A and B are shown apart, each in its own frame.
Chain A
């Protein structure tokens, strides 16, 4: 089994490595890590720091996709989270007050959890197709975010809030720490408990899971809530980076990048088996692509074109027709197992 999993992650990993190595040609000191003011700097850290929001959204998305669902609303949730936090902070007497910022952050995440609950309710309890259930919030959520900001871009001047995206902890950028911590939490919760297996069971065969006594409703709701909270944290990072909230554009299209990251990581959109390691690789791959295009000096908008190429290549390489020549080797493996 492990050989198969390794096999599944082989192509994304190979692509990531070749992209990173390719960067060396354009930026010879690409892999250099510099310590400045006791903080780590370098292209690799930049990729991870800038990629943290996408990684978080993709992380939550992995759980939802494992249930056989999909969450299109994460982009809107990113916007709502940042909007509410900034709106709260801008109303503070002292925007630098750590307590006030923490309250704003908690409130934003609570609202996101509520939005996740709504999605989970529509999918798990009402039984609406996930793509449609979350389409509702995807469309309406942008409106809600603009409602919160009253259609304006809210600027804040709050050092504690700014630290979420640009601070350092033990010389490491804070977003990387937050992302790593959440990845670790999700990995532990899914694989050290039975959560992951039951999720895969529900995603693999919902009817059979019910008859095996699994309360899929709860699992599905938890997955959507986790996804929305992850998106909420990502939203805080996005708005903290620029110290402002833009209800219209924050997190635009991030849902698609996140789904892409999950799929690149080898998790099927049909649900069932999922791979968190794969998602991490997928998200970093996408962000590396962004960075690469930027360093080569191509207009950033054209990144989309490269993403399309990556998707097509990965899909084709993983397509059965292409894989046929590799599977010849498989019978031997099966026989050995």
Chain B
């Protein structure tokens, strides 16, 4: 396969935005019948490259050859017609249309300009059956879960006579069995001779499915590698381009000393707290200086617990105590009054106000707590912001820059800074390391350790069990919107036992 002609060649691709060079002389080759991973930290230029490939952006330099012919796409429509199909991380479908339409719109079967609805349903059913998905194709897409919607998006991409299939982080919202199912489908397509470009943050998945990979760093090409010939460590080194010391520090740090923790009255304790349809009643205590990890699959109720503790959703059962006294949160501001902070999972939609500057975003929660009539004096704002920009190494270190100009990792740090200046007693971190680069990830992990050493309680939510185990004193295990086990992080605890707890529903 390697000596056949590549189906797609991108050569010397350059793309600049005002003030930023996003891509600089990047090459990419895709051969028929291979799964090719596109790797890089956030801000490395992966998504820009994909958008150039799929016609969403126009490149400034370089050329693209598809099947031996030079091409230039005016838009996604043209790229799709040429045989390049894309499934994006954020599901790009229309929730108000039926499943069948979402699979087929743009190429609905028609006769004399009239849509043949029955043929359309049948074809959609067939396509979904290929993914082992059996749902009512006449129902609105919006009524289905994210995982199902993702599968529908893939079914849609499959329907096009695709030569190249681009999967942009398709697995980030799928659970393990759904990932397996997706991989089975990918292998099938590979055998059919389709070239698959696969973007993911999960290294294990790359080594499971990809034949070759292209690594980018800071908008430049690092190299093209065979998966079999590149070790995981070398890959990470290629991606971040610096010694791994930073990561290994944390990696090799001794497990958190549970014994060293003095557990007095918990800072926050939930007693059979619950919300119908979101999370079954659960009890959980978080003490001063303690890091409690929440482990569980996506959709198992991790975020729901966080939102209840922060008052973002209202509990309809049970009781919540702060420092031993019962409280009833009427909204995030009540939780903030008890010095609880929450960094939500989705930075862009739930966290940052992209219009505002870094300074304004950092000051926002503190200002909200004071009310609009009592502004934080500008001198104090500048001082606080400067301190945290420095402490968290937010780059670029210009507080008056709109926050949308920052990379994912730096945006996450801005969000952390917003809550750190409010000096919370409990910090809830929902997936703080997702979708950010390895370097920033290590920094944030180190920060969590420092904060808890300083006496702050932390509720740490992450899909990566290793990370949860490394940082937490105690791990609460969730399954199907139910808290099923609470495991002390002592020597015997490892990812296998946590996974067993998830799988068995708590009998670990």
A and B assemble together: yes
A: residues with CB less than 8 A from B are 1, 192-195, 197-198, 200-201, 203-205, 207-215, 219, 272-273, 327, 330-331, 334-335, 337
Chain B residues in 8 Å Cβ range of A209: 353, 364, 368
Complex A-B, nearest 10 residue pairs according to Cβ-Cβ distance, in ascending order: A334-B19, A204-B355, A272-B355, A213-B368, A194-B375, A204-B353, A214-B368, A195-B372, A213-B333, A205-B353
B349/A197 in contact, CB under 8 A: no
A215/B333 in contact, CB under 8 A: yes
A213-B372 contact given A200-B356, A330-B19, A334-B19, CB 8 Å threshold? no
**Minimal Cβ-Cβ distance residue in A for B370:** A194
A211/B344 in contact, CB under 8 A: yes
Within 8 Å of chain A (Cβ to Cβ): is B460? no
B400/A212 in contact, CB under 8 A: no
Q: Return A287 CB to nearest CB of chain B, in Å.
A: 30
A204-B356 contact given A212-B332, A337-B401, CB 8 Å threshold? yes
Q: Return B101 CB to nearest CB of chain A, in Å.
A: 25
Within 8 Å of chain A (Cβ to Cβ): is B223? no
A208/B368 in contact, CB under 8 A: no
Size of the B side of the interface (Cβ < 8 Å), in residues, is 36
Q: Return A333 CB to nearest CB of chain B, in Å.
A: 8
CA distance A330 to B18 in the complex (A): 7
CA distance A246 to B400 in the complex (A): 49
- A-B contact sample (19 more), CB < 8 A, given A193-B373, A213-B365, A273-B355: A1-B400, A194-B370, A194-B372, A194-B376, A197-B360, A198-B367, A201-B364, A204-B356, A205-B349, A205-B354, A208-B344, A208-B351, A210-B332, A211-B312, A211-B350, A212-B353, A213-B368, A215-B333, A337-B398
| Dominant SS among interface residues on chain A | helix
B: residues with CB less than 8 A from A are 18-19, 310, 312, 331-333, 336, 342, 344, 349-357, 360, 364-365, 367-376, 398, 400-401, 418
Sample (22) of A-B pairs whose CB atoms are under 8 Å apart? A193-B372, A194-B376, A200-B356, A201-B353, A201-B364, A207-B349, A208-B351, A208-B352, A209-B368, A210-B331, A211-B312, A211-B351, A212-B332, A212-B365, A213-B333, A213-B336, A213-B365, A213-B369, A272-B353, A334-B18, A334-B19, A337-B398
Chain A residues in 8 Å Cβ range of B331: 210, 213, 215
Of A201, A210, A213, A337, the residue contacting B356 (CB under 8 A) is A201
B367/A197 in contact, CB under 8 A: yes
A331/B19 in contact, CB under 8 A: yes
B349/A192 in contact, CB under 8 A: no
Q: Return A208 CB to nearest CB of chain B, in Å.
A: 5
Chain B residues in 8 Å Cβ range of A273: 355
Most buried by B among A193, A194, A201, A207: A194
Chain B residues in 8 Å Cβ range of A200: 353, 355-356, 360
Chain A residues in 8 Å Cβ range of B342: 211
B375/A208 in contact, CB under 8 A: no
Chain A residues in 8 Å Cβ range of B336: 213
Q: Return A95 CB to nearest CB of chain B, in Å.
A: 40
Of B310, B360, B370, the residue contacting A201 (CB under 8 A) is B360
CA distance A197 to B371 in the complex (A): 11
CA distance A151 to B466 in the complex (A): 75
B375/A335 in contact, CB under 8 A: no
CA distance A24 to B109 in the complex (A): 65
**Minimal Cβ-Cβ distance residue in B for A219:** B372
Q: Return B447 CB to nearest CB of chain A, in Å.
A: 20
Chain B residues in 8 Å Cβ range of A331: 18-19
Chain A residues in 8 Å Cβ range of B401: 337
**Minimal Cβ-Cβ distance residue in B for A195:** B372
CA distance A198 to B365 in the complex (A): 10
Chain B residues in 8 Å Cβ range of A334: 18-19
Q: Return B332 CB to nearest CB of chain A, in Å.
A: 5
